[in-house]
Each structure stands twice: as C-alpha cells, then as structure tokens.
Amino acid sequence: VFVVTGGGSGIGKALARALAARGESVLIVGRREALLQEVARTSDLIQYVCADVSSASGREVLHAYLRGVPAIRGVVHNAGIIEPIMPLMDITESQWRQIMATNLDAPLFLNQLLKNQLVGGRVLHIGSGASHHPVQGWSAYCVSKAALSMLTRCCQLECDGIAFASVMPGIIDTNMQAQIRNAHHMAADKQDFFIRLKQHNQLLSQETVAIFLCWLLLDTDTDTYVSQEWDIYEKTHHPLWLRSPHQVPIWE
C-alpha cells in the first residue's frame, strides 16, 4: 500500500487516483472526511482514514489503522498548509507552530511510527521551491519546507533500508494557489506573478504532477530515486515521464 497524506484534494487526490490507475493500493489521509470519501469512491483500490497528521493523536489513528499491514510500499508526505500568509513579525506562536507541525513534524514523526513497515519502501517529502526562495508573507511556510528538505537528507543519512527523496512539484492549480492569489500580505509584484500564471494558463495541472510523482515512486531505481531533490521544471528527466497531453509550462 501507498499512504498519501492530504489525499482529499489537490496533488494528493490526483496522486491517489494515478497510483490506483497503475494498480496500486492507496490509503489517503486528511481531516475532511467528505473529500476523502469522494476520492475513495473513484476506485476500489483507494481507502481512507480521517486523521490530523499535525497531532500525535492523529498520527496514532493512522498508525493503528495500518497495524496489520506488514509492509508499506511508500508514504507520500503531501499534507501541507501555507496559511496564514502574514508578516513574520506579526505571526503568533500558535500559528507558527501549526505550520511547522503540519509541514515538518508530521513527516518526521510518521516516519518514526511507520519505520519498521517501511523497510524496503520509499518515502517522498513534498517540498517547495519556497524552501530555496524566500517570499514575503510566507516565512513559516518557507522555513518549514527548507527544514523538510534538510530532514530528507538527514533521513537518508540515518535510516538504512528506506529510500527517502524530496520533490519540488512546481506551481500547481490547487486550492493553495487560490489562497496565494487572495492573500493580503504579499508584495504586489509577487502576487501579480501568481495571478498572471493562473490567467495565462501557466499553472501545472494536478494530473501532470501526479504522473511525475508516480514515475518517481514506481519507475525509478533506488539510486536514481535518492539522487537529488527533484524539481519538476528541470528538463533533463522530462523525456522519461512527460507525455502529451501533459505539459510543464515554461514561464521564465
């Protein structure tokens, strides 16, 4: 089974459906049961568990659900939040902690809970270009994703038998982009950039990202899988997975 956190919407939903289309069993996780149910209804291979991965008790719900499963083929840590988008000097401690708990702590502590079942399997951390490029108003998000990138490297160093990788999935047409377009505390030029990408149809589709992630999870050998922080905009790997009608927009 593949576990996909945040599988009720966006990239996670598209990935769950793409994995199932390739014959893989998938367990999706999220907080909103109605969304998870809708995704699970699309395939007999998709199951769901309702859990908040930012809390130890939520992670325990997932752990308990998987107790009878001897081996997990992969875990995709995709659940993530960017809000509140606000000035670094105004963010409250609890707002900061919620972003860290979701984007950084959940992957670490779920990996701990599932480590025995993951031997021989793969872990994929969904990162972001924001881990390398600071954006005004996104401080907690940028810091959490930068830390997640380093967490991947530390896991690679310490955890024998499990293949870890992280990926920058690009700028994708999901609800998170709508939150960015509607945010009140971003530099106007930066926000205009994201608004224009949407207007000019230059956002990646969720389905294209899902095909890329499926290729990483199912079709690469282990040495290749762990070899780099993957970037969907990097063209050298496109011939290996990118087929029409899927496309990766170029906006530079």
Q: List contacts with ligand NAP (CB under 6 A).
A: 5-6, 8-12, 29-32, 35, 52-54, 78-81, 102, 126, 128, 169, 171-172, 174-177
CB of 161 to ligand NAP, least distance (A): 25
- 175/201 with CB nearer ligand NAP: 175
- 85/120 with CB nearer ligand NAP: 85
CB of 221 to ligand NAP, least distance (A): 25
CB of 134 to ligand NAP, least distance (A): 14
- 102/208 with CB nearer ligand NAP: 102
- 80/121 with CB nearer ligand NAP: 80
In this chain, which residue has its C-beta nearest to ligand NAP? Answer: 10
**Using CA atoms, how far apart are residues 46 and 23, in angstroms rounded to an integer?**
10
CB of 241 to ligand NAP, least distance (A): 18
Whether 36 contacts 43, CB under 8 Å:
no
CB of 68 to ligand NAP, least distance (A): 22
- 32/133 with CB nearer ligand NAP: 32
Strand partners, 74: 2, 122
